[in-house]
Structure 1
Amino acid sequence: MRRNTTIAIVILMLVLMTASLLQLVVLAPR
């Protein structure tokens, strides 16, 4: 269970980081 939870947290963190980076890239040109 601990491994699954850790993997889930890591995936969530990666998704949040990717979303923030995408927002910066999209809003940068504007």
Structure 2
Amino acid sequence: MAHQAHSYHMVDPSPWPIFGAAAALLTTSG
């Protein structure tokens, strides 16, 4: 989990929320 947090901090926080929304939609839809 610590590694993911670091990656999230390193990578732009812009594409992450989008991916999360898409995953949530897919999970809710599927």
Q: TM-score range by the shorter chain?
A: 0.5 to 0.7
- Select the structure with the greater relative contact order (CA < 8 A; seq sep ≥ 6): 2
Structure 1, unaligned runs of 5 or more = 23-30
Identity of aligned residues (%): 0
Runs of 5+ unmatched residues, structure 2: 1-8
Taking structure 1 as the reference length, the TM-score comes to 0.57
Give the superposed CA RMSD.
1.9
Q: State which structure, 1 or 2, has the greater radius of gyration over its C-alpha atoms.
A: 1
